[in-house]
Amino acid sequence: MVAIAEACRAGRLPGEVAIVLSDADGAGILTRATERGIRAEHIAPGKFRTKLDEAVEQAYIAALQQAQVDLIVLAGFMRILKGNFLRAFPERVVNIHPALLPSFPGLEAWKQALDYGVKVTGCTVHFVDQGIDTGPILAQQTVPVLDDDTPATLLERIQQAERVLYPATIAALLRGEIQVQGRRALRRSMK
């Protein structure tokens, strides 16, 4: 969120962060948003561990609609979004994942990559769909896996790549430089 907010402030991303929502009370993202003068709210996640219940989902939808958002950008939101949420914001929800999808979807993808023994991993920006990390891929950035990597060192390098790739991809989306046709994201040159 900080990288995205700073890219907006610097003019590298043609937009603004209208609101930051978190399902974790006291989350650092809420503090960092407030420090930057961005509206920040906690909405309790409800009774489920991995998804939003219907009432909570509606509260998220209402808050985002009230803020008149054009794009929902997920960062560390570890709940599955489906149904009504995705229908309310069709092809307007993006996520970043710490692996080169379709490899290593789900939780702790950097550990999965390290355990598997790959020599290259990275991060993926994708649209969110009904599956888990299965939406159309918008952009990817590779990160080498070093022989002495630990899960922590690999994750840190992936997160460094994410801080560059995510704002750049969001900016390209907002400028109309990325168009999705089926599962393929095509880059258009804006000359």
CATH code given to domain 93-191: 3.40.50.170
Distance CA 47, CA 43 (A): 12
pLDDT value at 69 more than 80 = yes
The region of weakest confidence among 57-61, 137-141, 179-183 is 179-183
Residue 49 pLDDT: 81
Pairing of strands 137-144, 120-127: antiparallel
CA distances for 42 relative to 19, 29, 101, 129, 159, angstroms? 11, 10, 30, 24, 24
Taking residues 39-46, what's their average pLDDT?
92
CA atoms within 13 A on the CB side of 140: 15
* Topology of domain 1-76+84-90, CATH: Rossmann fold (3.40.50)
pLDDT the model gives residue 83: 86
Q: What is the mean pLDDT of the segment spanning 115-144?
A: 96
* Catalytic residue numbers, as ranges: 97
How large is the average pLDDT for residues 72-85?
Answer: 90
Question: Do 180 and 187 touch, CB atoms closer than 8 A?
Answer: no
pLDDT of residue 17: 96
Q: Which pLDDT does position 10 carry in this prediction? A: 95
Is 80 exceeded by the pLDDT of residue 191?
A: no
Beta carbons within 8 Å of 171's beta carbon, 6+ residues apart: 7, 12, 13, 14, 15
Q: Report the chain's C-alpha Rg in angstroms.
A: 17
> Does an H or E element contain 41, and which?
strand 40-42
Predicted pLDDT of residue 48: 86
The pTM of this model reads 0.93
As annotated, the residues of the chain forming the CATH 3.40.50.170 domain(s) are 1-76+84-90, 93-191
pLDDT in tens, 81-94: 888 999 999 999 99
pLDDT band at 190; cut points 50, 70, 90? low
Average pLDDT over residues 46-63: 90
DSSP assignment of 160-189 equals HHHHHHHHHHHHHHHTT-EEEETTEEEE--
